[in-house]
Amino acid sequence: MKKLSAILPLKTKGRHYSDNIARCDILFSSLRYFSSPDIFDCFAIIVPDDEFNDVQHYAQAWADFPLKIINENDYFSIFKEFSQRHQIRGWHRQQIIKLSAPAFIENEYFIVFDPDCFATQHFTYDSLIIDAKALTHYEPRSREEKFWCASSLLLKLSPHLERNGMWWTPAILSRSLCLNLQTQLEKIYNTDWRRVLLSRYTLDWTEYTLYWLNAEKENLLEKYHISAPSGYKTLHVSKSVWFAHDIKKWDSKKCFSNDGKGIFAVIQSNTHISPRYVYKILSQYFPIHLQPYKKKSDFFLKIAEFYSAITRRFLKLLHRL
């Protein structure tokens, strides 16, 4: 049976992360209903050291999947080199984890999840990997111009904003293309590729824009990626919930109907829409079990994260000047 891997960076402390266990319950419930745990060869969940034991406990509810719970310390000791809080953005941290997937998965293709993703349509391996290529959702690069420009600056390439590029999580990446990107960054900067990215924390590079621009330069996109052919569903629904005000007009029936055209949707966690509210909407379409969990919300941690964000913005301004 053909299989792919999956990767899920997970945090349960700080900012909008304290409800991520419930979001994972929704994600795994959707994957059970619309597909099967057997589609995955490995489902890697990567967590910070101080959250590792808690996540191991909660992950028992998802144990029908081939889980591999990974402590960040085992693969990302390099994070400790950047000891000032403002130097490691949580957003960039998880992106580096995603690009590091070849270190702990073996399949050529792996699907990247965040806790706020969920399936909306039935799918199989052959729905996601078509003619040995990864199903890919395309959007105009001009929608996220700053990310494409920042990544092109790092790679010393043109951003080609007039073209389309791959969209956000969930996304399916190639192990070979990730390794190629790592090699290219190390060739350009003559140091560990992760150190290159971590030290550029004032730039708004993203994992997907780096991955795509490099693969484009290498003329490898058509070998590893494909848009949905006629008769296939797209990777994303036509509209997810990226902002809190979107939830009121989000057409869930359209996403889950028999003629729905997209396999996955997102109700973004930083909207602070509660998992209970999401549960009320989604449980009419598939069974969801929410386990009890202890929220890891720390006032002082939120203050520290706010300080970090302000510091980075100031440094970004200096960089532009």
Q: What is the pLDDT of residues 238-263, one digit of tens each?
A: 999 999 999 999 999 999 999 999 99
Does 307 score more than 90 pLDDT? no
pLDDT at res. 80: 86
Does 312 score more than 60 pLDDT? no
Does 305 score more than 60 pLDDT? no
Three-state SS sequence of the chain: CCCEEEEEECCCECCCCCCHHHHHHHHHHHHHHHCCHHHEEEEEEEECHHHHHHHHHHHHHHCCCCEEEEEHHHHCHHHHHCCCHHHCCHHHHHHHHHHCHHHCCCCCEEEECCCCEEECCCCCHHHHEECCEEECCEEEHHHHHHHHHHHHHHHCCCCCCCCEEECCCCEEEEHHHHHHHHHHHHHHHCCCHHHHHHCCCCCCCCHHHHHHHHHHHCCCHHHHEECCCCCCCEEECCCCECCHHHHHHCCHHHHHCCCCCEEEEEECHHHCCCHHHHHHHHCCCCCCCCCCCCCECCHHHHHHHHHHHHHHHHHHHHHHC
What residues does each domain of the chain span? Answer: 4-320
> If you average pLDDT over residues 41-52, what whole number do you get?
97
pLDDT digits (tens, 9 = 90+) for 120-144: 999 999 999 999 999 999 999 999 9
> If you average pLDDT over residues 37-65, what whole number do you get?
97
**Chosen CATH of 4-320 out of 3.90.550, 2.60.40, 3.20.20, 1.10.1660:** 3.90.550
